[in-house]
Amino acid sequence: PSSAVPLPWATRSIRWRQSHERPSSVLFLVSRQERLAAIGHEITSPLATLLARTKGGDETVQYNLRRMHNAIEGMLDAASVEDGIQNQQIVCEPIDLADFLRRLVENSKDLMAGVEYDGPPSGVVCSIDEFYFETVVHHLLNNAVRYRTEGTSITIRLSVDEVKRDALVEVCNDGPVIPADRLKSIFQYRTSDSQDPRSRGLGLYAARSYLIAMRSTIAAENRDNGVAFVMLMPLA
């Protein structure tokens, strides 16, 4: 039997449709971007008002409002959630990491019980973006609080490798260990064991992305009684 041969105009029509039709994944991405843009717009307007009205007042309030504003701007500028994290503007400058971590732990005690700092009081200088490094530490602390054994402490430990010229920052908690085959994959986007359908596994992914931009690394390690997230940061 002879096979049907499509007419030239029909072939052109099929090719035109194939080249112009959007796959469902693209349509979903556009829809998500539009929703994010709408949500961001509704938040930025009152947030700008709050920033203006609290200017010159409580610095802690101003600082947290700026954090919210920067996060929303990143969301609006992003082509996707992943790009939103990777395209943040990281500006590094020499910071005394020991003093920074010591103060961060002191300021966190009202929000998170049982967080301790173990390290020198000052004198460990690294080139970091203070704002985004604090975001990294908060992501790791939130993770530690979620998995630690009830009643145990969380330790932020700082040490220095003078030979390799690195600062070693560890966030340690007692609790269940991470399966060996997930020690690396937990830093990937959308990796989460949360039962909350809204959870996208962004915390550890964001932490790793920010640290890479600061020329630093992070790894998860199982310890005798729990887990440690270990960051290597070059000394300034």
Domains of the chain as residue ranges with CATH: 8-77 (no CATH), 93-234 (3.30.565.10)
C-alpha dihedral sign at 8, 13, 19, 24: negative
pLDDT above 90 as % of the chain: 50
Mean local confidence (pLDDT), 173-184: 95
Higher pLDDT, residue 198 or 205: 205
Q: How confident is the model at residue 199 (pLDDT cuts 50, 70, 90)?
A: very low
Higher pLDDT, residue 42 or 145: 145
pLDDT tens per residue, range 85-144: 666 788 899 999 999 999 999 988 877 889 999 999 999 999 999 999 999 999 999 999
Q: Quote the pTM value.
A: 0.65
pLDDT tens per residue, range 11-42: 444 443 444 344 444 444 445 556 666 676 67
DSSP annotation of 213 reads H
Residue 79: per-residue pLDDT: 46
Mean local confidence (pLDDT), 209-218: 93
HEC-encoded secondary structure of 63-94: HHHHHHHHHHHHHHHCCCHHHHHHCCCCCCEE
Residues 6+ apart with CB under 8 A from 23: none
